[in-house]
Amino acid sequence: MTSFTRAVAAENSGNLEEARARYLEVLQAEPQNPSALHRLGVVELRLGRPREAVILFQQSLAIAKDLEVYLDFGSAMAAMARWDAAAAVYAAALRVAPASVDAHYGLALALHRQGRAQDAEPHYRKVLATHSHLGEVHNNLGVALQELGRFAEAAAAHREAARLDPADAGAWSKLGVALHRMGHGTEAEAVFRKAVGFAPGDAENWHNLTCLLDATGRPAEALAASRVAVALDPASGRNWLALGNAAHAARRWREAWRAASAAVRLEPSDPAARNNLGNALRELGRPQDAVAQYRAALDLQPDFALAEINLALLLSSLRDAAGALAVLRGLLARQPANGDAWRRLGRVLAEAARPDAAVAVLRNAVAIDPGEPEAHVDLAMAAAMAGWSAVSVTACRRVLRLVPDHAAALGQLVHRQRLLCDWRDLDGLEARLLRRVREGAEGVSPFDVLSCASTLADQQAAAARWAAAKARAAVPTARPQAVAAAVAARDARLRIGYLSSDFREHAMGHLMVDALETHDRSRFAVTAYSTGIDDGSALRRRLERGIERFVDLRRHTDADAARAIAADGIDILVDLTGFTTFSRSSILAARPAPVQVNWLGYPGTLGAEYVDYIVADPIVIAPGEEGFFTEQVVRLPDCYQPNDRRRVIAEATPTRADCGLPGDGFVFCCFNSPYKLTPALFDGWARILAAVPGSVLWLYAGDPQVAANLRREGEARGVNPGRLVFARPMPHAEHLARHRLADLFLDTLPYNAHTTASDALWAGLPVLTRRGTTFAGRVAASLLRAAGLPELIVDGQEAYEAAAVTLARSPGRLRDLRDRLARNRPVCALFDTPRFARHLEAAYREMWEIHRAGGAPRPITIAADDTGGPISALQGEGEAT
């Protein structure tokens, strides 16, 4: 036996060190023996010394071009992950043996590992042309085709691999990935589950299943699958990333944070992990930490659009509009066709109270991606904020063509058409909206439901879902210990905080200012927390002067605002905005005060577990209706609405001609917002006008389209367009003065006149109302009762029309009503602010005493003591005392 033969025998038996020694003996005798150089190189490679092997292969090939040497040389390069060199070696092998299957396969793998899937494909196909039974090659070809975006061909390749070996879990898993990319979710899931069944211990299969379940909106199942993947391979950052995504979708914020933190520890240079950690921190109420993670993601990948958008939205929520706009404009400078970035820019501008600019930006978003419904939703909202109701209507209709059951767009469309008095298809739209509310749809603004023919149950259901959504991002806030200690040691005054976005020239401001000024400062420390704009008006300045503390929280985040209120040691926080425009109910959701109250701004329940009481009276919430209010009902004895004894009426009365009114004839008027008008109401008004010859109906119309639509509706009911007169917006004192030209205010239903009714009564104009079935439909009745004019409250449409006609034909009776209203104004409960303040303060005292005694909130009725001050009476569950 020769030395070479003994070397080969040792190599074949696994005695590699002996084989190495024998081959060296051969080469000592024959330094140019190509076979010995080749075999020694193979031994060195098997001994884990690829560099030595490479030198030997090169020496062998310098002597003789042998295919086997090339193949082993290529393997050595692959073992060192030198894929470029491996590709060169296999290409050289193919020049020696063009038909070599091994060389084609080696070259395919080397090219593929370099990211050259397109170059690898023909070599995989060369192998399969003669060796179609090789499932591994089919799988690798399928992976290359997926990378090339040819998912149908990839699925075919993986399907063939699975046919060749039905127990090949890898083939099934890769087939599932291709099917998922093709949008065949149901089949992809079945395939992934088959892969899991064949290889339940393979984390990759569970990871793939997680991604599919997450993408198809099944967070609980995705969470379960991702937990298995992490348990099987806890060292994989991508598994933790998938777990974090699933936990985020399931709203399990702490688990999402832990998973994202693990992904960052394992893959600190992965920008996606940083972005996900930012998302989790944002949801946990740690916005500054989230900003740092988004910025870290962008440091790693400056063109990471998703992280830029997340950062911009968070900066906007932190009231850093300038920072948010800079981020988004930078993104759009690089990607001007990024519709999502345009949409987010529009949202930031809207949140920064720049709705006109938002509309312009959102037009770009919908032009780039006209099939994206949320872009049209945002355009509708921005246009509504800008007062462009027609643009908002068009956008809402586009949303509903794309997503017919889009509840938020449906509610917005109903409200916007109401604002325009565009009643085409309105009955059908309202019926659809109420059906969606009753089906449990989320996203419907409760305010949009109030002016529909909704029930108390409908209003509570819509409010509860809205309130719960607002609470999701709220960070619980407690009084700091130092504040708690200071509260215990302070004076005996009760700390009342009023929260509103409307401390300005606004109906709420006009109603509240006198009551705020009249609070007994020896017993109550009052703070106003303003979250709205400073409009520079005289009313704003009066509010600032008339309140003990006026705090501007407009630029505070909801969390920071809640912390500020808690730090002030507020005992009772009263929300004056509710779910109207610019609501900040997430502040309430953080529970900054031990007792929280819904009052005045929103005529209905907030449906929020974090609000304890609603201030009402016996008319607006009738006995027995308490179950439709999530809050406990507090009934004041006269009227829930305060008024300003000092509101100014301009001395000069405009002429009828100035206001477009005829020189004579009876003037019915309604200065309510147009959204409170309904087709059925207008039917009745048309009949009233027909029954009172020469009369006119004077309506408020800030938008010319409102007037045009109402004239059209009037003509359809036989009303001469000249009998409809439209009032333009004007300063409040002058607006009150023009009431002197009207004879009778006709109220609306299902949503009454509220501030507009008290304005009319203050100006001396009688108001005729129908009593409705909800809070919003009974306010005018409450006002008239408190003003001493209960006979102007009727039940039913026929009685309403008959009363209007009778009063128009009875000038003496109407004059008596005016005279009585003039006599009552200085003394009636409606305009007796000190009396009102005493009742309200008694209610606050009762709320606080219940809380201080450790009791749960319960109904309260305040009974007036006309001889000195109010006394209070607590109610049992649903029972008046």
User: Where exactly are the structural domains of the chain?
Assistant: 1-64, 81-130, 279-436, 481-635, 657-831
Percent of the chain with pLDDT over 70: 97
Asked whether this chain's domains 481-635 and 657-831 adopt the same fold, the reply is yes
The partner residues of 470 in beta bridges, in order of sequence, read none
CA atoms within 13 A on the CB side of 351: 23
Per-residue tokens: 417: 């058409």
Residues 127 and 163: beta-carbon distance below 8 Å? no
pLDDT at 490: 65
Stretch 187-199: mean pLDDT, rounded?
A: 90
Q: What's the pTM value of the predicted model, to 2 decimals?
A: 0.80
Q: CATH second-level architecture of 657-831?
A: 3-Layer(aba) Sandwich (3.40)
Question: For residue 867, what pLDDT band results from cuts at 50, 70 and 90?
Answer: low
* Position 485 pLDDT exceeds 70: no
> Which comes out higher in pLDDT, residue 543 or 41?
543
User: Cβ–Cβ contacts within 10 Å for residue 545, how many?
Assistant: 10
pLDDT at 14: 87
Per-residue tokens: 240: 């933790």
Per-residue tokens: 228: 């298995």
The domain 481-635 is classified under which CATH number: 3.40.1350.10, 3.30.390.50, 3.40.50.11380, 3.40.50.11780? 3.40.50.11380
Question: For residue 477, what pLDDT band results from cuts at 50, 70 and 90?
Answer: confident
DSSP state of 493: -
pLDDT at 1: 63
Distances (CA, A) of 561 to 535, 683, 873: 21, 47, 34
Rounded distance, CA 74 to CA 51, Å? Answer: 12
Question: For residue 726, what pLDDT band results from cuts at 50, 70 and 90?
Answer: very high
Question: For residue 876, what pLDDT band results from cuts at 50, 70 and 90?
Answer: very low
Stretch 726-735: mean pLDDT, rounded?
A: 96
The partner residues of 632 in beta bridges, in order of sequence, read 613
Residues 557 and 287: beta-carbon distance below 8 Å? yes
Percent of the chain with pLDDT over 90: 80
Stretch 610-629: mean pLDDT, rounded?
A: 98
At 524, give phi and psi (nearest 5°). -135, 130
Instruction: Give the position of tokens 């408190």.
Output: 786
Stretch 513-529: mean pLDDT, rounded?
A: 97
pLDDT tens per residue, range 523-577: 999 999 999 999 999 999 999 999 999 999 998 989 899 999 999 999 999 999 9
Question: For residue 870, what pLDDT band results from cuts at 50, 70 and 90?
Answer: very low
pLDDT at 483: 65
Residues 6 or more apart in contact with residue 39 via CB below 8 angstroms: 7, 8, 11, 19, 23
Domain 279-436 coded CATH 2.40.30.10? no
Rounded distance, CA 753 to CA 772, Å? Answer: 12
Per-residue tokens: 546: 């008339």
pLDDT at 878: 31
Rounded distance, CA 62 to CA 40, Å? Answer: 15
Class of domain 1-64: mainly alpha
Per-residue tokens: 16: 């590699």
Question: For residue 185, what pLDDT band results from cuts at 50, 70 and 90?
Answer: confident
pLDDT tens per residue, range 209-222: 999 999 989 999 99
Residue 306, helix vs strand vs coil: helix
Per-residue tokens: 110: 């080397």
* Long-range contacts, stretch 786-790, CB < 8 angstroms, 24+ apart: 786/638, 786/639, 786/828, 786/829, 786/830, 787/761, 787/821, 787/824, 787/825, 787/828, 787/829, 787/830, 787/831, 788/820, 788/821, 788/824, 788/828, 789/761, 789/817, 789/820, 789/821, 789/824
Stretch 612-639: mean pLDDT, rounded?
A: 98
* Reduced DSSP (H G I as helix, E B as strand, rest coil) percent helix, strand, coil of the chain, to 5: 60, 5, 30
